[in-house]
Amino acid sequence: MIAENLPALQVVVPLLAAPLMVLLRRGSFAWLLATLVSWTAFAIALALAFKVREAGPISYAMGSWPPPWGIEYRVDALNSFVLVLITFVASVVAPYARASVAAELPRDQHYLFFTMFSLCLAGLLGITITGDAFNLFVFLEISSLSTYVLVALGRNRRALLAAYQYLVLGTIGATFYIIGVGMLYLMTGTLNLADLALRLHEVHEMRPILAALAFITVGLGLKIALFPLHFWLPNAYAYAPSAISSFIAASATKVSVYVLLRFYFLVFGMPLVFGRLPMAQILIALSVLAVVSASLVAVFQRDLKRMFAYSSVAQIGYITLGAGLANEAGLTGAVVHLFNHGITKGAIFMLLGGVSLRLGSTSLERVAGLGKTMPLTSFGIVLGGMSLIGIPGTAGFISKWYLVLGAIEHGYWWLAALIVASSLIALVYVWRFVEMAYFRAPEPGAAALGEAPTSMLVPAWIMVAGCIYFGLDTGYTVDGAHRAAQVLLGLVR
Amino acid sequence: MSPESLLLAALMVPVLGALAIAACDRWPDLRETATIATAAGLLLCVLSLLGPVLAGARPQLTLVQMLPGIAIAFRIEPLGMLFALVASSLWVVNSVYSIGYMRANSEAHQTRFYVCFALALACTMGVAFSANLLTLYLFYEGLTLITYPLVTHHGDDEARRGGRLYLGYLLGTSILFLLPAIVITWVVAGTLDFTSGGILGRGLSNAAIGGLLALYMFGIGKAALMPFHRWLPSAMVAPTPVSALLHAVAVVKAGVFAVVKVIVYVFGVDRLAGLASVDWLPFVSGFTIIAASIVALRSDNLKRRLAYSTVSQLSYIVLSASLLTPIAVFGAVLHIAAHAVGKITLFFAAGAIYTASHKTEVSQLDGIGRRMPWTMAAFTVGTLSLIGIPPAAGFASKWFIFSGAAAAGDYVALAVLTVSTLLNAAYFLPIVYAAFLRPPAAGDAPHGEAPPSMVLAMFMTSALVLGFVFYADPLLALARAVAGMSGS
């Protein structure tokens, strides 16, 4: 019974937890429930991934309405990989959030925070698991609306402005997406993604399809923070509560990239997107611009959260770059970088949360001497930074390897050179932190503050350990990403 | 123990030693004991491996699959054995020396120093024993990063600037050139395992081979081929034991070791021989030899002079490997060992002079031989080896490098080697002359010899330089195996 309904439970469990939290209005209960829900969701995601690996894709008919009439939940090698990433991050962030939220938010908002967190998780999981284009929009809105609230909860008043910016741009993105889906529905009469892919071949009038592709690309581009649609991201990451910075940095943009991959490769199909249209060239050009310009901007940031937020824009560029390469190595690199960058940025933002808790700020000047005052936090950020640079032995290296491989297999030598050159820019901004933390004396008084609370440090270090572990043993990540790439290329179902 | 478990032990002993050293933070005497014990333990492991490897065993160990088809794996072949032997035996001596130096100069953060040192040796072993390019690259980068805290040990602005250049050059070259070279090799060959005769086969055009070789040679920044040599003089801001073991032996030799490894086991000497597209390498390395010698001649700072001498000597190894005759490769391999013992002696002496008298410039050394006879005697032994005067170790390797150049009929290389030998003499002998034969400058503060542990260390390395003929057999056998020369 439970085993059969796992795809539904994946979304329903966090979705039902949210109203319970509102009813009880107790911060500590809400935290406990959110943690349990995250762990349950993680277990479900692992079970689904295992089932998909053993027995192939799972199709689940919501309310027993068969697709394409009812809503289909469909789990394959691609989205089960994304589900595992999101639920893993959530189940590490949830325990972390307790101390972090207690320090940053007034008591009467705690239950709201965890309610929104559960809703956001439900939304992200729903986007990932659903096989229905309109259902996807609904979940996109659930996750977006809850994220706007979460960002606005940040204790700095600028969080309100950041949330407002995100709200405006996010709504435009969602609207563009639904306009695109509407056009597809007009032309094909179906909303089921697999069905759409089949019926698109029968459509002779291409103009509305191309318009739909354009709307969906721009809409999702806003959600992904694909250059030059990234303006909402640095503020949102910098001013949101720390737990949320780490959660959305590790998951929200990744899910949108997944949707883009699904639409490009499995709905519109490669002949249209990369054959008739120059989307490969456009994606590669935008990605290169993102990587280079955002990395350079990161170098000149004076606040660590903003610095690593711009670094995220650059790293998202690596992911879309792999998508634009559209070969097996490039796509493996893109999907594995979803995971690797997710845990790397998750780790860094969780550690920065500890910094902001103790020092009250994450500006570069304030972290002087952090290597002495908060040695574990500081060293964790350095290790995460290594993964951003792509030092061998860290998760980031694995992604870079596949992206360079993908570029070389295409014969794009200049691109391979750009990928490795851009990691040197990452070296520059990571080393700004290193020199500040290890070569400056701490400010008087800072030494007495000590390390971040254990309940924050342990989850953060689980992520840091992941950055190293998945750089050495890639049995799970590369294998999963490779299967996902094969699904995208239509080599396996 | 079986050779396989010895191999694992050689990798793990320095790591466990680092943990022990960190645990003994509060008890300096115990901590230094842990360092010496770790170094001795590592040497014991490596020495026990020597017999089996000389007998033809090639112990292997695969740790984990890092990428599909590419594992983190180790395999001991003669070249790696020789490099490991050199690094681990000199670490023992260097530990004795470090204790004297760090205590006499009251250096801060000594625990961090010894921990990083042990981890640097672990990375060195990883480089030496790596079975494929990816494993080598992993430990090569690890070595750069773990030595960064050692280079910037003093934590002042000068150290920070030196550290920037150090990381910038080493990580910059390895990420920009070496990583793409490895990916290209993987795409072309489908394997990254070091194999006798090379793995590239006929998969690349001759011109592409030349380009790939350039990516490798400049990508291995630790070999300090010009124009990517400036990290080495910058690294001299480190305490002298670091300069001695890491920047005369472990780190720089990891560079030339990788160069020889790539030429012999990735390209294959036969594949490169006679290719017009790789002819540039002898010229670049020859230029580095001469130019670095001239800079050394003009440097008044003693450690800087030694650093540029190292840049020049490293290119001896690259040059002779690039001559592609068995005897030249043989000389290159031998020079890894010979230069190491000579140069570490010179650095030990420089550190001893600094500790006893706080002098750093060559021009201040008039008459110092009268006050520090042991130190300057060791320094003299080191210079003999660097110039290549028998019976010092450097003579043997230079002999084979000259023979290799002659066998290859490369007159340019012969001329470079001759001129550089003269330059070596020109920048070293005046120091010896001034130290022993010039009167001390008036108003010099009186001082005595360096602490006994430092003198002991110099005595040991001097003995290694002069007694080369007595222990040369295993080294010669290993070098012969690398060069593919049969019999004697």
B112 touches A at CB < 8 Å: no
- For residue A307, tell me if it sits in a domain: yes
Alpha helices by DSSP H, listed for B220-325, are 231-234, 240-245, 251-261, 269-272, 280-298, 302-322
A412 CB burial (10 A radius; 0-12, 13-18, 19+):
middle
Q: Are residues A346 and A466 in the same domain?
A: yes
Q: Are residues A155 and A21 in the same domain?
A: yes
CB contact under 8 A, A420 and B155: no
Q: Which domain holds residue A325?
A: 281-493
Element (H, E) at B66: strand B60-67
- For residue A218, tell me if it sits in a domain: no
Please, how many CA atoms are within 13 Å of residue A469, restricted to the half-sphere of its CB? 11
CB contact under 8 A, B145 and A482: no
A326 φ, ψ to 5°? 55, 25
Q: Which pLDDT does position B166 carry in this prediction?
A: 92
Helix, strand, or coil here: B154? coil
Q: Are residues A367 and A468 in the same domain?
A: yes
Q: Are residues A33 and A68 in the same domain?
A: yes
Bridge partner list, A303:
A363
A214: number of Cβ within 10 Å? 15
- For residue A474, tell me if it sits in a domain: yes
Q: Closest partner residue to A391 among B141, B160, B168, by Cβ?
A: B141
Is residue A156 very low, low, confident or very high in pLDDT (cuts 50, 70, 90)? confident
Contacts of A414 in chain B (CB under 8 A): none
pLDDT averaged over every residue in chain A:
90
Distance CA B160, CA B137 (A): 25
Q: Are B100 and B453 in contact (CB under 8 A)?
A: yes
CB contact under 8 A, B176 and A472: no
Q: Are residues A251 and A364 in the same domain?
A: no
B218 touches A at CB < 8 Å: no
CB contact under 8 A, B141 and A404: no
Q: Best interface-test mutation with B: which of A388, A408, A414, A479 has the largest number of B CBs within 10 A? A: A408
The model's pTM is 0.91
B145 touches A at CB < 8 Å: yes
Contacts of A400 in chain B (CB under 8 A): 179
Q: Are residues A8 and A151 in the same domain?
A: yes
Q: Which pLDDT does position A170 carry in this prediction?
A: 92
Smallest Cα distance from B6 to chain A, Å: 23
Contacts of A473 in chain B (CB under 8 A): 64-66
Please, how many CA atoms are within 13 Å of residue A475, restricted to the half-sphere of its CB? 7
Q: Are residues A327 and A422 in the same domain?
A: yes
Distance CA A171, CA A175 (A): 6
What's the CA angle centered on B166, arms B163 and B170, to 5 degrees? 145
Distance CA B354, CA A83 (A): 61
Contacts of B64 in chain A (CB under 8 A): 472-473
Q: Which pLDDT does position B345 carry in this prediction?
A: 92
Over residues A234-249, the mean pLDDT reads 89
CB contact under 8 A, B179 and A420: yes
Q: Are A443 and A368 in contact (CB under 8 A)?
A: yes
Q: Which pLDDT does position B487 carry in this prediction?
A: 42
Domain count, chain A: 2
Q: Are residues A294 and A251 in the same domain?
A: no
CB contact under 8 A, B145 and A472: no
Q: Which pLDDT does position B488 carry in this prediction?
A: 39
In angstroms, how far is CA B404 from the centroid of its own chain?
A: 21
Contacts of B171 in chain A (CB under 8 A): 389, 391, 424, 427
Q: Are residues A241 and A346 in the same domain?
A: no
- For residue A13, tell me if it sits in a domain: yes
Q: Best interface-test mutation with B: which of A394, A415, A431 has the largest number of B CBs within 10 A? A: A431
pLDDT in tens, A333-366: 999 999 999 999 999 999 999 898 888 888 888 8
Q: Closest partner residue to A393 among B67, B142, B187, by Cβ?
A: B142
Map tokens 């060559």 to a residue: B362
Contacts of A471 in chain B (CB under 8 A): 66
Q: Are residues A302 and A163 in the same domain?
A: no
Distance CA A199, CA A211 (A): 17
CB contact under 8 A, A392 and B141: yes
- For residue A271, tell me if it sits in a domain: no
Residue A201 pLDDT > 60:
yes
pLDDT in tens, B25-36: 888 888 888 888
Contacts of B72 in chain A (CB under 8 A): 472
Q: Are A320 and A287 in contact (CB under 8 A)?
A: yes
pLDDT in tens, A36-56: 999 999 999 999 999 998 888
Name the CA radius of gyration of chain B, rounded: 21
Q: Which pLDDT does position B370 carry in this prediction?
A: 83
- For residue A441, tell me if it sits in a domain: yes
Bridge partner list, B75:
B60
- For residue A252, tell me if it sits in a domain: yes
Distance CA A106, CA A96 (A): 17
Smallest Cα distance from A393 to chain B, Å: 6
Bridge partner list, A59:
A74
Q: Best interface-test mutation with B: which of A391, A422, A468 has the largest number of B CBs within 10 A? A: A391
Helix, strand, or coil here: A106? coil
Distance CA B108, CA B114 (A): 12
Smallest Cα distance from A92 to chain B, Å: 25
- For residue A216, tell me if it sits in a domain: no
Q: Are residues A23 and A96 in the same domain?
A: yes
Q: Which pLDDT does position A493 carry in this prediction?
A: 67
Q: Which residues of chain B have pLDDT under 50?
A: 487-488
CB contact under 8 A, B141 and A420: no
What's the CA angle centered on A426, arms A425 and A431, to 5 degrees? 100
Smallest Cα distance from B159 to chain A, Å: 9
Q: Are residues A250 and A294 in the same domain?
A: no
| Cβ neighbours of residue B193 closer than 8 Å, sequence gap 6 or more | B131, B132, B199
Q: Best interface-test mutation with A: which of B144, B179, B228 has the largest number of A CBs within 10 A? A: B179
pLDDT in tens, A423-477: 999 999 999 999 888 888 887 776 677 888 888 999 999 999 999 999 998 888 9
Q: Which pLDDT does position A56 carry in this prediction?
A: 87
Smallest Cα distance from A376 to chain B, Å: 15
